[in-house]
Structure 1
């Protein structure tokens, strides 16, 4: 075992001025000293921070590391004291281990295959075109977040799950409140509770009148209404928030790398590679947590049972031992294989849907507006607070030549 390992006592969160796409400087530096470091949590718990690509991937594939919510007693930036963490509610399989995890995920796998998601391409193209039309008619300035990045994935996931169009705005507002990182405790609880109540009503409505959607398809299973509600919450929030932030932050990154933007505009075949590279480069899902269920040897260190482990996706996807020039955005990059969607049994269920949405949306946007540019200085673009689970921009003012 390696006797010397660096220790971090505060989780770095601040991005460097003028570098909103790069991980915090301290995280990059700690990874340079090795792929695993000790980490002292705010409550005093002695855990680990894993920053290297290979080790993050190894933990994600290892069933000796748990995702169970009730074991996540320690937070990287908040001291929760002696508060007991309850198990994940029924259906919220992201925070469960086997066999409970597969009970909920397995019925959904066939609904999100590559083939089924590609069949949605025409509808996604239509939704994208409608919002680009609206931008053009209202322009030549717009907030890309509200005009483009949020509506597209919101409409798509709502249609997949059978959420009525007129309810989309209410759902989007509540998801923003409890995932955006800026709501106070009361507002957060109110938004979460309102979403739960709405989903309970939605499941009941599907029971009474099934329609052609994923939620209705699950009614023939042995899943209870409470379980269906929890599954719907995971799908709605994950299917909306991550993609919305990728579309906005990805556009920001392209505008700050004009040679890459020009390449995407000139070469339609570059779209697939562009999506994968933006996913790697931005890593909007920054970190995930695991808890060791038994003693595990990892990177020359012994992770004791019950110890919390932070997995840094944002540094793993910038690991120089895995990627050439990792801090460079290169849409023609050949050394792919990022961890933006995770790995192992919890690898993102909706990753193919997200890919289709981005493959359609990015080229459509940059080709519709050849002179698209920021409407404010880059350092004035409002970023989401780092406490938010998903990184992104709060607003992205853009303009173009009419």
Structure 2
């Protein structure tokens, strides 16, 4: 039986964005009730639009795999008031559907194969050790600025062929693009700076190719009937820079905070380093740093979880809720580092599932393993309840994480 409701009107609750005081790692407690009683419910988003909030694991997978639910408004600003029909920027892969999306994804996939990522593992270990050495020169550090941010940033710079000395500027612009507190003008300026910077780099690569991702994309696309344009390459570069370090950096810090909260759990992982791959997948499930979910726009009527979504309406797939669905993950609010959480939704699902998933997992494996091995006395410098969490950003995390050893 299909339930038909209209995504407008009065009395619609606000989008659930709070986190319980008892545990800053848990998503809004409203999700538990919604999964049980109202798995597809209307909510009022921060920018004022109404959307269908999808909270159950299987329904989220269905939404993210359905070609009738478009990505064309995703990623521009998670909570835009409406989709005005404008075409996405050239190369803005996360907003493209169908053949246009598939064309770019095929070109990018070659940079993120399991073989290429594993080939990067020694380099990731090298820079992780270098940052650990720098920390060990003292007795305290900020795990965000001194460790978690620079490691994925340096990896992405290496892959793209971007000089690492320029990382401070693009880290700042990445933070602007993932914050709800930044206004439209600030986000537009940050995007323009990143695109201009990469545009200059791309022009150089067109003349003099190097052994880097941008050069390989140019060469790979040149063998097809549609070479990549400079705007397309620039946008792909911006997406890679932002997505390639922001989420991973926050996952590293949050994961260490989870481990440091439970010394027995941390000791068990330290004693069994071969289990780090399984542990990382469970931490990805438990934390799910894309904290507001993924937006889709209905291009035609579609039924989701027994409810009819009409053409022109919005849908938000709540990844944090899906990863806490008790129908799929028993005792979901508990961290079980032995849990087989391979099917978690932390990287999305369907044709737009994160292309850098394997890279992020390897970076997390190396970073966490190195901290556990080389800093056995690591501990938080202040209680977690005093920590500065990023509650109003697209990506959940910590702005600072003082530690001592």
> How far apart are the structure 2 equivalents of 1:94 and 1:264?
35
Q: Which SS does the other structure have where 1:328 is aligned? A: coil
> How far apart are the structure 1 equivalents of 2:241 and 2:20?
32
Task: Write out per-residue CA displacement over residues 283-340 of structure 1, whole angstroms, 9 at most, x where no aligned residue.
Answer: 0012000111211122111111111001100000000011011000110013541011
Structure 2 counterpart of 1:91: 91
Cα distance, 1:39 vs structure 2: 2.7
> How far apart are the structure 1 equivalents of 2:378 and 2:83?
49
Q: Which SS does the other structure have where 1:120 is aligned? A: helix
1:51 is the counterpart of 2:51: no
Q: Which SS does the other structure have where 2:325 is aligned? A: coil
CA spacing shift, 1:75–1:245, aligned 2, 3 Å: closer
**What is the number of residues matched between the two proteins?**
394
* Counterpart among 67, 72, 87 of residue 68 in structure 1: 72
Q: TM-score, normalised by structure 2?
A: 0.92
Q: Which runs of 5+ in 1 are unaligned?
A: none
> How far apart are the structure 2 equivalents of 1:243 and 1:43?
27
CA spacing shift, 1:227–1:370, aligned 2, 3 Å: same
> How far apart are the structure 1 equivalents of 2:77 and 2:126?
44
Alpha-carbon contact 2:259-2:266 (below 8 Å) kept? yes
> How far apart are the structure 2 equivalents of 1:243 and 1:74?
20
Q: Which SS does the other structure have where 1:39 is aligned? A: strand
Q: How does 1:224-235 map to 2 (within 5 A)?
A: 224-235=229-240
Q: Which SS does the other structure have where 1:352 is aligned? A: helix
Structure 2 counterpart of 1:372: 378
Question: How well do the aligned residues superpose, as a CA RMSD in angstroms?
Answer: 2.2
> How far apart are the structure 2 equivalents of 1:135 and 1:42?
40
Alpha-carbon contact 2:135-2:141 (below 8 Å) kept? yes
Q: How does 1:140-151 map to 2 (within 5 A)?
A: 140-151=139-150
Alpha-carbon contact 2:91-2:232 (below 8 Å) kept? yes
Cα distance, 1:219 vs structure 2: 1.7
Alpha-carbon contact 2:128-2:367 (below 8 Å) kept? yes
Task: Write out per-residue CA displacement over residues 267-290 of structure 1, whole angstroms, 9 at most, x where no aligned residue.
Answer: 011100111001000000120001
Q: How does 1:276-315 map to 2 (within 5 A)?
A: 276-286=281-291, 287-315=293-321
* Counterpart among 17, 20, 45 of residue 16 in structure 1: 20
Structure 2 counterpart of 1:236: 241
Q: TM-score, normalised by structure 1?
A: 0.92
Q: How does 1:1-400 map to 2 (within 5 A)?
A: 1=1, 3=3, 8-41=12-45, 46-69=50-73, 76=79, 80=81, 84=84, 86-137=86-137, 139-220=138-219, 221=221, 222-286=227-291, 287-386=293-392, 388-400=393-405
Cα distance, 1:73 vs structure 2: 10
Alpha-carbon contact 1:154-1:168 (below 8 Å) kept? yes
> How far apart are the structure 2 equivalents of 1:28 and 1:265?
33
CA spacing shift, 1:292–1:185, aligned 2, 3 Å: closer
Alpha-carbon contact 1:291-1:307 (below 8 Å) kept? yes
Q: Which SS does the other structure have where 2:389 is aligned? A: coil
